Amino acid sequence: MTSIFPKQSIRLSRWLPFAAASCFFFFLCLKGGFFGFIGAYPLEIPIPFVAERIVIPGGKFILLFSSIWLACILLLLLYPRGLSDISGKIILLILAAVCRIAFLFHEPSDDIFRYLWEGRLICQGINPYVHAPDDPALAELAARDPFHRRINHPDMPAAYPPLTLIIFAVTGLICYNPMAIKILISLFDLTAIYYVFLLLQHRKLDVRWAILYAFNPVILLSFSGQGHFDVIQITFMLAAIHSYDRKKWPGMFIFLGLAVQIKYVAAMTIPFFIRRENLKSSGLILFVVGVPYLPFVETILPLDGGRVFHSLFTFGSEFAFNGSVHGLLRAMLQGISPATRICSVLFLVSLAIGLVWFHPVKNPRFGNDPVSGCFFAMGAILIFSPTVHFWYLSWMIPFLALRPTASWIVLCLTVSGYFIANGIAHHTGEWRLPVWAQVSEWLPFWLLFFRDIYFAIHRGLSRADTKSPQTLSVVIPVLNEGERIIECIASIRRDPAVNEVIVADGGSSDQTALFAEQAGATILTHKASIEKGGGRGGQIGAGVRAATGDVIAIVHADARIRAPVFSKILSVLKRQPMICGGAVGCVFNESDWRLRILEFANDFRMVCLGISFGDQVQFFRKRPVTEGDVFPDIPLMEDVELSLRLHRLGRQIFLFGDIPVSARRWKSKGYMRSLQVIRLVSSYLWQRMWRMPDTVSMYRKYYGQ
């Protein structure tokens, strides 16, 4: 039998969109690098039928920032299939480095001048925790400093940990210039990308997920653009997680200590790393955190006012800007102090709950992986913090590559509302963020975050399958697929992870069952009417119940599996017990730009909406699905309904595969069929919000019966 699936390679048609998107992304980075002052360019939006215009302070930069975010998502979706991990890492690192070079020319944050000044004081033997920048005793030194007049909060002494100041001091000795700080920070940023690669590799995830960090506009602007040093903490944190993965406990505690010495917030993640077998090495973190304080020991003592932490506590207790929960409480209670006290209590309670639920030893769902706990701790800090500058969001972004979460990914876009404050400050000198700007920034996040909480509650109530899966069953729903079933089964059998293939026949009138049996599959006949559990959903449901594998994958007869797809599925589920299922991407077997658009739409739907289709090869752990009677025995939309129900059982992952699928159905019914599918899915999702849709009627309408 001649195959209708020619051997696939990475075609030019798959490279060109990614290359074009990369060029566009670099162009946007150049615009960002040479943009000038963020707040200098307001955006004027005309109001239809009215002479007036809506003026958004800093709006043109907000538009550019949003465009970079959209281009980042585009890069994620257009990343070429079939590219090896090594080649992908090289390409992404080169592109990331070039984009960071473009952003180096952006106007630096005024924080960077404090970095240089406090580093200079260290070199001069002057204690920056005692002497604020405007201290009269430093007037002569300040007069000779080219950047002193641009330091923010000049009445406040240093608030950063000692190691941070030492790094600034060494950098200033080499080159006393903001560009030197930016270059150092960009190098740490590229190192962080490398660690993201390593963490993805350990979790058997596609290297393309690193794009969510490497090309995120928050990251580019915060570090290479403005020169904030938070990436040093991020790099050490990622190095600590990598050491945890390798069970290198001394190195893990050293990196954790270094992270705390860069930003104190890293201390909130420490409990998620501690386990019985590494307690002997835990003293290292006290040593690493404590040693940098030795030159400043006299300013730590309470008798001297604890000056090392004086500015830190002042900023935390007396300042508030752009906090979501804190801002709401501040408006209700008419004061910073009561809002801060309540948020402190809420944070500590949340951290205690998170420690019980997310600790990798206490909860087997998280498979001895501290990532979820770190993600939770950093998120809790941002949610309850009195002040949330846009670059604080960078603390979360590395974890988005490992745990893609819609609410935080969307916040990476809506945080651009923060720059309205830059626009107001540029034109009026007043640093403030209007209520409408804060609402536009935080409301989309909270709507999606409440959805995350809803699913988290359901997952907590459901019984998780944390057993390491060893076997995989494939279920193939068929109806008169005699011409294709043999080749489909043969392609599945090439993967050693598959222990059984079940062909669920809906009553074929050709020799489908005979051919499938000859190919080594188990035949299961399911001829029920669509009103009584028939149709494709009923067929698959019968196959699922009969399957014996720990994991079940649903494959359509049109697909030709490429090993080791199923082996990879098992590897991902073994590494990450919190994942209950997901889907593998497909490509059509013909070169046609309309088919490329369909492929892009399929990937977009799964990545951005969490909805997969059956021809994308859906997979899931069997036990929670069968014990909870989760699989929907409906004649149509069973794939959509399954993907929606799986969200209640655990996280889903999308594996960007390149499984060839025949385009015969799209060609035979015309490409306008895609619009019909979109309308049908949209109608189903809308009706599902209020009641379970009538899938029998939808089936008859779709198939013209």
User: 301: which residues sit within 8 A by CB, 6+ positions away?
Assistant: none
| pLDDT for 531 | 85
Contact 148, 142 (CB under 8 A): yes
| pLDDT for 11 | 60
Token digits for 490?
């043969």
Please report which helix (H) or strand (E) contains residue 503, including its range: strand 498-505
Q: What are phi and psi of 30, to 5 degrees?
A: -60, -45
Query: Helix %, strand %, coil % for the chain, to 5?
Result: 65, 10, 30
Token digits for 630?
């989760």
From the list 292, 227, 204, 243, the residue with the least C-alpha distance to 565 is 204
- Asked if omega into 564 is within 30° of 0 (cis), the reply is yes
CA-based Rg of the chain, rounded to a whole angstrom?
Answer: 28
From the list 343, 351, 352, 345, the residue with the least C-alpha distance to 323 is 343
Q: Hunting for tokens 């639920």 — which residue is that?
A: 357
From the list 287, 265, 284, 263, the residue with the least C-alpha distance to 274 is 284
Residues linked to residue 523 through DSSP beta bridges, in sequence order: 503
Token digits for 217?
């506009």
Distances (CA, A) of 142 to 66, 120, 508: 39, 11, 87
Token digits for 628?
């909870």
User: 344: which residues sit within 8 A by CB, 6+ positions away?
Assistant: 384
| pLDDT for 306 | 55
What is the CATH number that goes with domain 472-671? 3.90.550.10
- Give start and end residues of each alpha helix (H) in 467-604: 485-493, 512-518, 535-546, 565-575, 593-604
505-529 per-position pLDDT tens digit? 998 998 999 999 999 999 999 888 8
Contact 340, 386 (CB under 8 A): yes
User: 640: which residues sit within 8 A by CB, 6+ positions away?
Assistant: 611, 613, 681, 684, 685
From the list 262, 211, 215, the residue with the least C-alpha distance to 235 is 262
Token digits for 61?
């930069």
CA distance from start to end of the chain? 33
Query: Where along the chain do its domains lie?
Result: 14-461, 472-671
From the list 83, 39, 404, the residue with the least C-alpha distance to 216 is 404
Instruction: Locate the DSSP E strands across 559-625.
Output: 579-588, 618-621
| pLDDT for 574 | 93
Contact 508, 539 (CB under 8 A): no
From the list 1, 88, 11, the residue with the least C-alpha distance to 593 is 11
From the list 31, 23, 98, the residue with the least C-alpha distance to 65 is 31
CA–CA dist 550, 498 (Å, integer): 11
Buried-exposed string 380-393: b where 16+ CB fall within 10 A, e elsewhere = bbbbbbbebbbbbb
Q: Write the burial class of residue 463 (CB in 10 Å: 0-12 exposed, 13-18 middle, 19+ buried).
A: exposed
| pLDDT for 51 | 64
Pick out the chain residues at pLDDT < 50.
1-10, 303-305
CA–CA dist 613, 558 (Å, integer): 13
